[in-house]
Chain A
Amino acid sequence: MFQTIRQMNRIIDNEERAAESVSSSPMPEEKLDGVLLGKYEICRLLGFGGFGKVYEACHVVTKQSVAIKVVSKRDLRERGLMSQFQTEIAAMRRLNHPHIVKLYEVLATKTKIFLVIEFAKGGELFDKFVKSGPFGEDQHRRWFQQLISAVQHCHSRGVFHRDLKLDNLLLDEDLNIKVSDFGLSATTKDIRPDGKLHALCGTPAYLAPEMLNDKGYDGDKVDVWQCGVVLYVLTFESLPFTGANVQTQLRRIRRGEVRIPRRGKPENLIHLMKRLLDPNAKRRITIDEILKDPWFKKGYTEIKVQQKNLEWEDENRPKSLNAFHLISFGSGFDMSGLFLDRPELEFSGSVERIVSKETPRRIVEIVEAAADRDIVTVTGKEDGMGAKVEGHDGTFAILIGVYRLTDELVVIEVKKKEQDGDMGAQFWKDKLRSRILELEHKPE
């Protein structure tokens, strides 16, 4: 009976292209083994993802287990999936959440691209569920809470998964959810001028009704619907919409014909499920409302997103600077040079401090105007001492401090930190640097 809840074929609609199934077609390619690029030792084949094979591997030095998704560049080009693949990488880079698999790094050779991803030791929730399920209401709730927390994080960073299903929810060794496979995800960039997403993609059984009506849809509503399907499958061990063939199935989804059986299930769980699987997207429960739902809330503690070390120590920043503050900026005082193994987080790119006649408020406004909401969030404006520009992907942060020097002048101080990659350096160079430099006051 469990076979009925797995639906392998996925629809990828790359704009004009016809729907194409890219499920488990093993590519007739040489098997990957040995040490990859001198860094990862390939252990075994784990399976086939949307774009290619996935291997378990282990870092040669740290021995950390990772999953490596191997994608052929030619294959991507020939199937017209290059931009979708780039979206997957961009989406994963933005995310940093305990219940979302992490993208550690992207490696490439002439012909292949390798995504080095967090390895979820527990495998697919689907397999676990089929083998040892059902797990009971409390465990289902725990998974659902972790899923919702992960989806909330995605949406806060402008990422819509669009293919949430049991097969894409992995587990770690402690049975915690790790949302994976952002191969069909969309980011805010994909939103059309009408404010909607349009591509028809996903797994038929999990498609939301509004995805089938050609009028565009909201990515967050669709993700909520799919969470509803996940909860339904966990609870009833079957799919909410089935049919003798995909056409029938899709017709039922389009009509929103969902029957939620009541047999022996708690009232408030059924109520939540009805609200999740509301065919009317406008009326459907939102993530914020889910967080307040009685069934959901039980035992839920907000899942903290661990921050990478992009914080600055100096929380007690002075409002204004005196002569000795200026002197203390001297590079000879920076003892960090003595510590060879210090984490190399700070990136350079000139403009560390300049004087300006602008007000702190105006400077923050200029920073905000320059900040591309797709890439960064601007925070820390409240104290009127500048702002912090943080990359959505959590890999970089730029602190723009504004300190009063005299009645007329302020000092603008720019600190930059970055981890993995060069998104921050690029952002600084393209968007901010010249705008900050324009503010400089030079004495005649």
Chain B
Amino acid sequence: MGCTCSKERLVHEDPAVLAAQTCFNVSEIQGLYELFKELSSSAVDDGLISKEKFQLCLLGSSKIQSLFADRVFHLFDSKNNGVIEFGEFVRALSVFHPVAPQEQKAAFAFQIYDLWQTGFIERDEVRELILALLRESDLILSADLIEAIIDQAFKEADLKGDGKIDLEEWNEFAAQNPSILKNMTIPYLK
């Protein structure tokens, strides 16, 4: 490692520390660093990934409005300062590692779907998410059908029957339906 690397280490977290906290080993983290450098240098090379850059990578355009990319960005940006730093990037990606625990994935998904951060997934949030999906895909569902699908999901997930899904119920539901967390795993990371 040359001197440029030690300079970078002043800015970025120690790979060994990140390795201890995540599913990645040190050399994988170095690989992720290369990736991070590339992603963060598009448009403005400031060593950070802004929301625009993030959207550009995920959707191929920074112009498209995507509720999903929005939510995922916010979860990556754990310090909530509008940019993703390298440490945040590695920690968030670790959740998507094939060997990351299911509970971690479930908790991450729960936070994405809890749009208004009330600690619950509510019917209105689920409707909002489904409508967002329909807007960006070819799927066409009638309003009645959407309600029926939400009814069915709450019948299965809302065990306490209070009209909202808490984290505990969500974990149980995800354990019963592991395929709903499929998008929380990136096979390439193996």
Checking B38, B68, B130, B137 against A323 with a beta-carbon cut-off of 8 angstroms, the contacting residue is: B130
Q: Does B129 contact A (CB under 8 A)?
A: yes
CA A338 to CA B58, docked complex, whole Å = 6
Checking B96, B132, B141 against A335 with a beta-carbon cut-off of 8 angstroms, the contacting residue is: B96
CA A352 to CA B137, docked complex, whole Å = 8
Q: Does A111 contact B (CB under 8 A)?
A: no
Which residue, A334, A352, A442, has most C-beta atoms of chain B within 10 A? A334
Shortest B141–chain A CB gap in Å is 7
Checking B145, B152, B173 against A443 with a beta-carbon cut-off of 8 angstroms, the contacting residue is: B145
Contacting residues, chain A, for B156 (C-beta < 8 A): 322
Which residue, A317, A352, A409, A443, has most C-beta atoms of chain B within 10 A? A443
CA A329 to CA B139, docked complex, whole Å = 11
CA A308 to CA B109, docked complex, whole Å = 32
Do A326 and B133 touch across chains, with their CB atoms under 8 A apart? yes
Q: Which of B1-9, B10-18, B22-30, B180-188 contacts A (4 or more CB under 8 A)?
A: B180-188
Do B183 and A323 touch across chains, with their CB atoms under 8 A apart? no
Do A325 and B138 touch across chains, with their CB atoms under 8 A apart? no
CA A332 to CA B112, docked complex, whole Å = 11
Q: Does A34 contact B (CB under 8 A)?
A: no
Nearest residue in B to A327 (C-beta to C-beta)?
A: B129
Shortest A121–chain B CB gap in Å is 33
Contacting residues, chain B, for A353 (C-beta < 8 A): 137-139
Contacting residues, chain B, for A411 (C-beta < 8 A): 139
Contacting residues, chain B, for A314 (C-beta < 8 A): 179, 182
Q: Does A288 contact B (CB under 8 A)?
A: no
Contacting residues, chain B, for A327 (C-beta < 8 A): 113, 126, 129-130, 133
Known: A328-B183, A337-B58. A405 touches B149 (CB 8 A): yes
Known: A332-B59, A353-B137, A443-B140. A338 touches B145 (CB 8 A): no
Do A443 and B177 touch across chains, with their CB atoms under 8 A apart? no
Do A330 and B139 touch across chains, with their CB atoms under 8 A apart? no
Within 8 A of B (CB), among A298-350: 313-314, 316-318, 322-340, 342, 350
Do A330 and B129 touch across chains, with their CB atoms under 8 A apart? yes
Q: Does A406 contact B (CB under 8 A)?
A: yes
For chain B, the count of residues having a C-beta within 8 Å of the partner chain is 48
Known: A331-B58, A443-B145. A338 touches B39 (CB 8 A): yes
Q: Does A191 contact B (CB under 8 A)?
A: no
Within 8 A of B (CB), among A352-401: 352-355
For chain A, the count of residues having a C-beta within 8 Å of the partner chain is 38
Which residue, A331, A340, A342, has most C-beta atoms of chain B within 10 A? A331
Do B188 and A339 touch across chains, with their CB atoms under 8 A apart? yes
Shortest B32–chain A CB gap in Å is 10
Nearest residue in A to B73 (C-beta to C-beta)?
A: A332
Shortest A8–chain B CB gap in Å is 51
Q: Does A351 contact B (CB under 8 A)?
A: yes
Shortest B103–chain A CB gap in Å is 16
Contacting residues, chain B, for A440 (C-beta < 8 A): 140
Do A324 and B58 touch across chains, with their CB atoms under 8 A apart? no
Q: Does B164 contact A (CB under 8 A)?
A: no
Contacting residues, chain B, for A317 (C-beta < 8 A): 179
Q: Does B90 contact A (CB under 8 A)?
A: no
Q: Does B19 contact A (CB under 8 A)?
A: no
Do A337 and B179 touch across chains, with their CB atoms under 8 A apart? no
Do B68 and A406 touch across chains, with their CB atoms under 8 A apart? no
Contacting residues, chain B, for A351 (C-beta < 8 A): 138
Within 8 A of A (CB), among B44-76: 57-60, 66-72
Q: Does B35 contact A (CB under 8 A)?
A: yes
Contacting residues, chain A, for B72 (C-beta < 8 A): 332-333, 335
Q: Does B136 contact A (CB under 8 A)?
A: yes
Shortest B75–chain A CB gap in Å is 11
Q: Does B99 contact A (CB under 8 A)?
A: no
Checking B58, B126, B177 against A332 with a beta-carbon cut-off of 8 angstroms, the contacting residue is: B58
Do B133 and A330 touch across chains, with their CB atoms under 8 A apart? yes
Contacting residues, chain A, for B152 (C-beta < 8 A): 322-323, 406
Contacting residues, chain A, for B93 (C-beta < 8 A): 335, 338
Known: A323-B126, A352-B138, A355-B139. A329 touches B133 (CB 8 A): yes
Q: Does B178 contact A (CB under 8 A)?
A: yes
Nearest residue in A to B89 (C-beta to C-beta)?
A: A338
Known: A337-B58, A338-B58, A355-B139. A330 touches B68 (CB 8 A): yes
Shortest B147–chain A CB gap in Å is 10
Known: A332-B71, A338-B58, A405-B149. A322 touches B177 (CB 8 A): yes
Mark interface residues in B145-162 (1 if CB within 8 Å of A CB, else 0).
100111011001000000
Contacting residues, chain A, for B113 (C-beta < 8 A): 324, 327
Shortest A184–chain B CB gap in Å is 43
CA A62 to CA B70, docked complex, whole Å = 40
Shortest A22–chain B CB gap in Å is 49
Do B178 and A316 touch across chains, with their CB atoms under 8 A apart? yes
Checking A329, A330, A336, A443 against B186 with a beta-carbon cut-off of 8 angstroms, the contacting residue is: A336
Which residues of A are interface residues toward B (Cβ below 8 A)? Answer: 313-314, 316-318, 322-340, 342, 350-355, 405-406, 409, 411, 440, 442-443
A-B contact pairs, 9 of them (CB 8 A): A322-B153, A323-B126, A323-B153, A331-B59, A335-B58, A337-B57, A354-B138, A406-B149, A443-B140
